[in-house]
Amino acid sequence: MKTSIATRASAAVGIAAIGLLGLSACGGSMDEGSEGSGAEQSQEAGGMEEGGSSEEAMDEGSSEEGMEEGSSGGSMDLVGAGCEAYAEQVPEGDGSVEGMAQDPVATAASNNPMLTTLTSAVSGELNPDVDLVDTLNGDEFTVIAPVDDAFEAVPEEDLSALAEDSDMLTDVLTYHVIPGQLSPDEIVGEHETVQGDTVTIEGEGEDMMFDDAGLVCGGVTTSNATVYMVDSVLMPQM
């Protein structure tokens, strides 16, 4: 912080003369010196006041910047009835809101204990011919991410058939991916997916629906994507 520096001037006192005239002259010089000191004190006080104003301005700027950084971190944009439960289940670490923000989306999802089945599906574990990790990590996307409970609701025979058909599995997974990052204020509407069909998002706030899937928690940001966790697996038109 810059501080105003008062310029100090030294008042030259004339050589004292003998007599009342000389004393008067000395008295005048002292008065001038006193006035100079007062001016200096005034300048110093002014400098301190200016410094205080600058410091206050910096403090206010820092506070505003902190608020803006907090907003851009994603946590302020979360929407969904399940966000509180998510925060309680994963309060910190790589799978938390703050942790996911540090990694690209496929990596971030792999650290989230609510997305283990989706992670195995996109990473080649479910079917070695379907590995979308590099694709998902390589560009900006909006990812509709079914939580583990959503996959558990799918009949086992249907899930097994899906896992064995690499083309169908790829279609289903890429239907959950929209090019570009869409915030909660932008997500409502019809959007073409990477698979090619259109997904429809309707409603507001925690009542948003992604086709027939309900929102669990959305607006979770990663380093390259925005994630909306949902309670059902979406199916494209086949």
C-beta separation of 226 from 206 below 8 A = no
Q: What is the pLDDT of residue 57?
A: 42
Residue 19 Ramachandran class (φ > 0 left, ψ -120 to 50 alpha, else beta): left
Chain-centre distance for alpha carbon 53: 30
Pick the closest to residue 229 from 86, 94, 129, 111 (CA basis): 86
Q: Residue 200 phi/psi, 5° resolution?
A: -110, 125
C-beta separation of 115 from 229 below 8 A = yes
Encoded tokens for 209: 């629906």
Taking only Cα atoms into account, the Rg of the chain, rounded to an integer number of angstroms, comes to 34
Q: What is the pLDDT of residue 46?
A: 46
Q: What is the pLDDT of residue 76?
A: 53
pLDDT in tens, 110-126: 999 999 999 999 999 99
Pick the closest to residue 175 from 99, 98, 236, 94 (CA basis): 236
Residue 171 Ramachandran class (φ > 0 left, ψ -120 to 50 alpha, else beta): alpha
Whether pTM > 0.85 for this model: the answer is no
Q: What is the pLDDT of residue 82?
A: 96
Q: Return d(Cα 121, Cα 109) in angstroms, integer.
A: 11
C-beta separation of 210 from 145 below 8 A = no
In the predicted model, residues of the chain with pLDDT beneath 70 are 1-76
Which residues contact residue 221 at a Cβ distance below 8 angstroms, ignoring those fewer than 6 apart?
A: 73, 74, 77, 100, 101, 181, 227
Q: What is the pLDDT of residue 41?
A: 45
Which residues contact residue 43 at a Cβ distance below 8 angstroms, ignoring those fewer than 6 apart?
A: 4, 6, 7
Encoded tokens for 218: 């959305």
Encoded tokens for 163: 């896992």
